[in-house]
Amino acid sequence: MTRTELPSSVLIAGCGIVGAATAFFLARRGVDVTIIDREGPAAAATGAADGAVSVASKRPGPMMVAALSGVALYRQLLAEGVLADLFTPRSTFIIAASDEECTVLEAHGAALSGEGVTVETLGRTALAQRFPALSPSARMGAEVKGDGHAIGYRIVNRLLSTSGVTVRRGVAAKHLIEAANGRIAGIATDKGEFRADAVVIAAGNGAASLLRLDGVMKPRKGQLLVTERAPALNASMPGSIMSGRYLLSKGSQKGGPASGRGYGLVVDPLVTGQFLIGGTREDSDARQTNDFDAVKHILADAVALVPGLADVRLLRAFAGVRTAVVDSLPLVGRWPVHDNLFVAAGFEGDGICLGPVMGQAIAALVCGEQPTLDLSPFTPSRFSACEVAA
């Protein structure tokens, strides 16, 4: 394959939203694509996410710029019919209830406005009128317009069914196969070798061992709750709520969150009439467990901000594991050593928003084109020790 030719075949490791989106955009160009996944589509973070397609929570800089493109692409795919019924445009309300949160919110609102996002600042009275379900403890708010919501596993299913791409379930990538010319010939798996003209690693937390990035990427668990339907309360909320503390827990104004367990409240009124409430940030990969302390803490925070939730029953709690990178930026781009190897992983808490736009960008790169989104801040070569585990 030269850079101006389409690859004859592409192998993608990982069928989360990033792998599925990459496959979708490659298949649209007529490229023959196979995805392998050690479990199945949306088996990891993508299937356990909230689904905020949101610029509101992003750190100023490349992540905010990428999120703007990400939301724009969701709108485009909705207009094209690809994501019909799956993407719900709506505002995000960031709410501050303390001096510290007010300070963060003011700085964050200014950063969003600076990127061209429409933000309306709401004082206590305006907030109470716009959002009557909120507690009087809410001192100030910012309505971030133009965000949206999408359920990750539904997006994956739609991208796969629309593109007709083959997914090989239960196939775990073990290591890359290096060809004599220094290119990558394919992937050795527990079910044998898979060969292709180009290889994309979109394996979330599985990318670390395939690319020898154990010190660079780490799992970050999040616990989420889902309530029963409460249609009246749900209808009284004009968008999702994010507490100022969520920005602090996510490090949206600084270099990244502190390690250990962080709490940041998000209350999402779902189209079903239920509420999705989260969540935690924990340096752990224990995705099969919720703990009582976390559930209690999240519920107490939610009821403090939206008192009506005290009368709504909790239906279930679950957890997922994000893939965090030490410098809080994902790794997206061509692998420095091998011309036909690409990586798209490490999206932490932003991959539902960024998955489609990053998949589109990687598909362009794989086909020898310059992506419209500037990927230079995300280049894998910033970790100089990058070396393939072949």
Ligand X SMILES: Cc1cc2nc3c(=O)[nH]c(=O)nc-3n(C[C@H](O)[C@H](O)[C@H](O)COP(=O)(O)OP(=O)(O)OC[C@H]3O[C@@H](n4cnc5c(N)ncnc54)[C@H](O)[C@@H]3O)c2cc1C
Q: Is 111 in the site for ligand X (CB under 6 A)?
A: no
By CB under 6 A, the residues from 4 to 43 that bind ligand X are 13-19, 36-39, 43
| Those residues with Cβ within 8 angstroms of residue 171's Cβ, 6 or more apart along the chain or in another chain | 36, 37, 38, 189, 190, 191, 194
Give the separation between CA 301 and CA 296, rounded to whole angstroms.
9
Stretch that binds ligand X, among 49-57, 72-80, 230-238, 246-254 (CB under 6 A): 49-57
End-to-end CA distance of the chain: 21
The two structure tokens encoding residue 296? 């209690």
In single-letter form, the type of residue at position 87 comes to F
> In this chain, which residue has its C-beta nearest to ligand X?
206
The two structure tokens encoding residue 141? 């708010």
In single-letter form, the type of residue at position 53 comes to V
Which 3-state string (H, E, C) describes 178-217?
A: ECCCCCEEEEEECCEEEECCEEEECCHHHHHHHCCCCCCE
User: Binding mask 112-151 vs ligand X (x if CB under 6 A, - otherwise)?
Assistant: ----------------------------------------
Q: Is 279 in the site for ligand X (CB under 6 A)?
A: yes
Largest CA distance in the chain: 69
By CB under 6 A, the residues from 85 to 104 that bind ligand X are none
By CB under 6 A, the residues from 146 to 175 that bind ligand X are 152, 172-173
Q: Please report how close the Cβ of residue 321 comes to ligand X at its closest, in angstroms.
A: 6
Q: Please report how close the Cβ of residue 124 comes to ligand X at its closest, in angstroms.
A: 27
Do the Cβ atoms of 141 and 132 come closer than 8 Å?
A: no
Q: Is 363 in the site for ligand X (CB under 6 A)?
A: no
User: Binding mask 209-248 vs ligand X (x if CB under 6 A, - otherwise)?
Assistant: -------------x-x------------------------
Identify the residue among 22, 23, 50, 86 touching ligand X (CB under 6 A). 50
Phi, psi of 200 (to 5 degrees): -120, 125
- SS3 (DSSP) at 287: coil
Binding residues (CB under 6 A) for ligand X: these are 13-19, 36-39, 43-46, 48-52, 152, 172-173, 202-204, 206, 222, 224, 278-279, 320-322, 345, 347-353, 355
